Structure 1
């Protein structure tokens, strides 16, 4: 195997490694499975995590490198607002670790944990955000932008259940 100079990715591959000069990369990292010409290490920690998320288990195996590359690590401090109800949606998030509250009309209606996701409704239906998401603890997420979501065809490739943030009356 040729010597390959690997460097940490600062954008896109959620901390996975990318080869600096892919002309020396092992042949099993095909250009067809890359995102924007970058070649992520599929068996990286982010790749292994995403394979365990139920939503992505339906994605064809060959699409996993593209998914890993499309994601960006985004972290939030406890109490920080991740998305705000009524705002336009520009991204979809997957919770890597920590907890987040789903708040509708000022009331908490759900708690999100590792492997949960949010923000898909705004992308699927081109609607404003239906809930506010607040970090309850230090929150580590993977973010997929609207452009990457659409370019990858995730709307068609994944089975998103119809979910609606419901206001609790009481």
Structure 2
């Protein structure tokens, strides 16, 4: 799992110890094919790292993108605490690592790259919302 997380943009340049701490404070959760993981408009403070499988991003009924193993989704909840901007559905059986906002905020405060990570997430959100 560490190797998957090390490839994510939010963990770029972060020590293995900090990433392992992140793993210990997160939850593994599986979803079956066709299951809704995130529903557009709902409030939540979790983000997900896709450890295996494929998920689709939907606005209304339209599939606007696909996410593959090793990517993060739902990260808007980690930094803005806003309602979900899209629905995420499992296109295959998937395994995720659920990231909690409270621990993530603590992680950002203690990480030397905390502000960089937050800015990177915000920039990604802006780019995704232009699609």
With the length of structure 2 as denominator, give the TM-score of the two structures: 0.82
Per-residue CA deviations over 1:100-154 (Å, capped at 9, x if unaligned) read: 0000122110000011111111221121000000000001111111211122127
Determine the structure 2 residue equivalent to 1:96.
51
Q: Tell me, yes or no, if the aligned pair for 1:82 and 1:135 is still in contact at 8 Å.
A: yes
Determine the structure 1 residue equivalent to 2:82.
127
Q: 2:71 aligns with which of 99, 105, 116?
A: 116
Q: 1:59 aligns with which of 14, 21, 26?
A: 14
- The structure that is strand-richer by fraction is 2
Determine the structure 1 residue equivalent to 2:115.
156
Q: Tell me, yes or no, if the aligned pair for 1:104 and 1:167 is still in contact at 8 Å.
A: no
Q: 1:106 aligns with which of 54, 61, 85?
A: 61
d(CA) in 2 for partners of 1:148, 1:108 = 31
Which of structures 1 and 2 has the bigger CA Rg?
1
Any runs of at least 4 consecutive aligned residues in structure 1 with deviations exceeding 6 A, and if so which?
none
Determine the structure 2 residue equivalent to 1:48.
3
- Larger displacement relative to structure 2 (67-76 or 153-162): 153-162
Where relative contact order (Cα < 8 A, 6+ residues apart) is larger, the structure is 2
d(CA) in 1 for partners of 2:116, 2:46 = 17
- The structure that is helix-richer by fraction is 2
Q: Tell me, yes or no, if the aligned pair for 1:75 and 1:138 is still in contact at 8 Å.
A: yes
d(CA) in 2 for partners of 1:79, 1:124 = 28
Alignment of 1:7-22 (within 5 A): none
Q: CA RMSD in A?
A: 2.1
Paired residues in the alignment total: 123
1:153 aligns to what SS in structure 2?
helix
